[in-house]
Amino acid sequence: MVTIDKEKREKALQILKNSNDSKLLTHLNACVRCGLCAGSCMYYLAMKDAKFIPARKVDLVTSIYRRYLTTQGKLMPALFNAKDLDDKMADEMVDLLFGGCTMCGRCVKHCSIGVDISYIVKKGREMLAAMDMVPKTLQSTVDAAINTGNNMGIPTEEFVDTIQWMEEELVDEMQDANARIPLDEQNKHIFYTLNPREPKFFPLSITAMAKVFYAAGESWTLSSKNYDVTNYGYFNGNNAEATQIARNLYDEVKNLHADVLVLGECGHGSRANRWEGPNYLKKEYEFENITAVELMAQYIREGRIKLDKSLNKELMTIHDPCNLIRNGGLLKEMRFVINSAAENVVEMNPYGNDNFCCGGGGGKLAMSEYNERRLKIGGIKAEQIKKTGAKVVITPCHNCVDQLVQINHTYKLGVQIKTIAEIVADALIIDKKQ
């Protein structure tokens, strides 16, 4: 058991003191504990326990803020809901901020005030990280990324073998010896990234994207060492580690002299690099930094790839990854790509900016101690999928894919889970004269 001493507490409080804008101060003071956010949280809806109400998670952090950083909380803590940061409080924070929230931000949009609840949860995680209280399972994922260059600790040789194997598959499929999956090539237009789950479990999604690049006649490369788009440092609350992981990609783009960093299909990875990366590194990126969804949309608009959506006839539905849609603004762009590639698409209810998280966000897939909760909250998504009657669920996020695969199995949905690259690749019209 961790004991919160003065030094640890001071480190945690430093997180709440350090702010270079008014956002933190605002959200620490805005919640009125009306509790109306309860119905927007999948944890609360699935577990029916008041401790999962988002306002309660906010209060864990704000009550500490009031206790130590406001005059009224220092003088009369009982009157102002100000609480000590002690062992009990820290344990509760771990349980609810790491184990009871995916930081999907659904409650944020529906909050009666507009409190950025997931931002406060993130600050709480940063406080816990400062006190060395990150769940070991999550920390080991971050450690793997830092020590090996990818969060699954895949050795470079194994990765290179997989890529070569996928390249052979691509050559066979395209019947073109020039079809390639380039590795470590310099001066290419695009530097593409992967979720390590792809080489490890879903290598065909790499071929799918390679097929899209082939059809578009793109100049691109992968790195054999720094290809990992994920950044679990965003979830463990250790910004130094998040910065180091983001820097790996940044440096590799510079080393290979690429023009555009294209973030593979991963929600949090896209967020951590597209939106948080420049802030971690405290610099604007000199190169373009876009998601694979945006790139495919660009190819379709520019006519660089041609699609025949009748090749995807089955009834399909879309799962919106929180970090790409609600927190990434790609609602329309993603639908443009999917509707260009598939004939029969039906929406879940609710969908888009209101969509429920799959349950695997917030680093949940790395924290096996919360597996039972994760699958229980996934029941909401299972129900949504079931109601659509779709046979295929499309999502541009490999973490979501992983969770959806497990939901599919647990709730016996009998659906196929596909990424957008796979759907687009299936609909491609390859011009052999090219």
**Site of interaction with another protein (CB under 8 A):** 19-23, 25-27, 29-40, 50-51, 53, 55-56, 59, 70, 72, 78-81, 108-116, 274-279, 281-285, 289, 325-332, 353
At residue 318, what is the residue type?
Answer: I
Residue among 25 and 204 whose Cβ is closer to another protein: 25
The one-character DSSP state at 356 is P
Residue among 96 and 208 whose Cβ is closer to another protein: 96
We find the least distance from the C-beta atom of residue 39 to another protein, in angstroms, to be 5
At residue 139, what is the residue type?
Answer: Q
**Cα separation of the two ends of the chain:** 64
CA-to-CA distance for 62 and 24, rounded, in angstroms? 10
**Which tokens sit at 87?**
């062992």
We find the least distance from the C-beta atom of residue 163 to another protein, in angstroms, to be 30
CA-to-CA distance for 18 and 60, rounded, in angstroms? 18
Segments of 310-357 assigned E as strands: 316-318, 345-346
Closest CA to 207 of 164, 259, 177, 261: 164
Helix (H, G, I), strand (E, B) or coil at 360: coil
Residue among 237 and 277 whose Cβ is closer to another protein: 277
Residue 247 sits at the vertex; the CA angle it makes with 246 and 251, to the nearest 5 degrees, is 130
Residue among 335 and 418 whose Cβ is closer to another protein: 335
We find the least distance from the C-beta atom of residue 29 to another protein, in angstroms, to be 4
We find the least distance from the C-beta atom of residue 23 to another protein, in angstroms, to be 5
Residue among 289 and 317 whose Cβ is closer to another protein: 289
Instruction: Specify burial of residue 254 (Cβ count, 10 A radius: 0-12, 13-18, 19+).
Output: middle
We find the least distance from the C-beta atom of residue 73 to another protein, in angstroms, to be 9
Residue among 62 and 395 whose Cβ is closer to another protein: 62
Beta bridge partners of 261: 191, 289
We find the least distance from the C-beta atom of residue 239 to another protein, in angstroms, to be 14
